[in-house]
Amino acid sequence: MHDYIAIEGNIGAGKTSLAEKYAAEINARIVLEQFADNPFLPQFYTDRDRYAFPLELFFVAERFQQLKDTLSKQDLFQTTTVADYIFIKSLLFARVNLTEDEFKLYQRLFQIIHSTLPEPDVLVYLHCDVERLLKNISKRGRDYEQNISSEYLTSIQNTYFDYFKTVSSFPILIINVTKADFVKDETHYNKIKEWITAKHEIGMHYYGF
């Protein structure tokens, strides 16, 4: 059993749904991104240039505090932690959202605090094609997300995959869930669970439906 599992994916891929379901089943501590607490998020989608930097600063501080508080505590009854993000997500989104000068400053701050957090034992990346992501975003109905473009989602996706090529400390399970419904279909969910619990070497491992 892994001690620390991070579940990642693009906007609308189903990260939180899988994290909640899996954590409940294995009685794990769960860390969920508190996106609703970020006061800059709605404004970011209407004025990206103005609000990107405070948006990303808020997120990195929030994620760092969440993970630090949770991972530093021992729990005799819940020895596994499941998070619906990996901390370096902050840097990946900043790379897409910030100007070059803003990113350089942000990166300096990120590097100072990143080294104090442990890496996950395994990273699960839920991959969806952009068309399915847009349908999921529309279906969940958050008003400020409805203008997210396919180009933006593609840029986020490409940034993740560029990052994966640099990882040399933990396995990455890239699971194509474009045609899956792991919330309602137990066959799909059980397959994902089987992949997560299997032993993997460091590097990228591809699965799909």
Q: Find the helix packing angle between 89-97 and 150-164, rounded to 10°.
A: 130
d(CA 44, CA 46): 5
3-state secondary structure of 82: strand
Is 73's pLDDT higher than 80? yes
Give the CA-trace dihedral at 76, 3, 14, 162, to 10 degrees.
Answer: 150
Nearest-Å Rg of the Cα atoms of the chain is 17
Of 193, 169, 182, 207, the C-alpha closest to 80 is 193
pLDDT tier, 87 (very low <50, low <70, confident <90, very high otherwise) = very high
Confidence of residue 74 (pLDDT cuts 50, 70, 90): confident
Question: For residues 81 and 37, what is the distance between their CA atoms, to the nearest angstrom?
Answer: 22
Integer CA distances (angstroms), 105 to 49, 90, 116, in order = 16, 13, 19
| Domains (range + CATH), the chain | 4-208 (3.40.50.300)
CA atoms within 13 A on the CB side of 78: 15
* pLDDT reported for residue 147: 87
Torsion of CA 31, 170, 12, 54, to 10 degrees: 70
pLDDT one-digit tens code per residue, 11-24: 999 999 999 999 99
Average pLDDT across the chain, whole number: 95
Instruction: Give the C-alpha separation, 190 to 64, whole Å.
Output: 31
Mean pLDDT of all residues in 196-207: 97
What global pTM score does this model have? Answer: 0.94
At 77 the pLDDT is 75
What does the pLDDT look like over 136-179, one tens digit per residue? 999 988 888 888 999 999 999 999 999 999 999 999 999 999 99
Kindly give, in sequence order, each residue whose CB lies less than 8 Å from that of residue 152, ignoring residues fewer than 6 positions away.
Answer: 96
Residue the block writes with tokens 């957090």 = 117
Q: Using the structure block, give the residue that is written with the tokens 């929030």.
A: 62
Structure tokens at 98: 């910030």
